[in-house]
């Protein structure tokens, strides 16, 4: 699967879309190949699928390859259920919100605040 981006592979004469970013850490003699960076950096190299698979590092160098995660980052099902339960608790309570402090309910690290 090819991810379409506005950036091309940094290898000479390659016209494929970049999918990974290569960064060299000279002080540690390490090459790091990870997901495509958000912004193009002058000292990083954007590589296509083919060139990222064929990557070799100088003799004595380490190569760290971070795989691209297909999971979307966001709240877990447990987080969403905790929010829903906190909202339900506040909605079902018989508390007069006018005499209450700004915080209506609390469950763990989540708080329900009134909208003004």
- What digits encode the pLDDT tens for the residues 7-27? 999 999 999 999 999 999 898
| Closest residue by Cα to residue 90 from 71, 73, 104, 109 | 104
Q: What is the pLDDT of residue 3?
A: 47
Q: What is the pLDDT of residue 42?
A: 86
Beta strands in the chain (DSSP E): 20-25, 30-35, 44-47, 62-65, 105-107, 110-112
Domain residues of the chain, as ranges?
1-69, 77-112
- Inform me whether the pLDDT recorded for 108 exceeds 90: no
- Provide mean pLDDT across the span 23-33: 91
Coil, helix or strand for 62? strand
């Amino acid at each position: 699967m090819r991810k379409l981006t506005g950036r091309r592979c940094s290898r000479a004469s390659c016209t494929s879309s970049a999918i990974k970013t290569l960064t060299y850490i000279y002080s540690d003699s390490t090459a790091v190949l990870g997901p495509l960076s958000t912004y193009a950096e002058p000292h990083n190299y954007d590589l296509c699928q083919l060139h990222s698979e064929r990557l070799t590092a100088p003799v004595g160098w380490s190569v760290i390859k971070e795989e691209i995660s297909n999971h979307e980052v966001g709240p877990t099902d447990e987080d969403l259920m905790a929010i829903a339960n906190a909202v339900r608790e506040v909605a079902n309570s018989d508390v007069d919100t006018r005499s209450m402090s700004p915080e209506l309910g609390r469950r763990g690290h989540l708080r329900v605040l009134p909208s003004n």
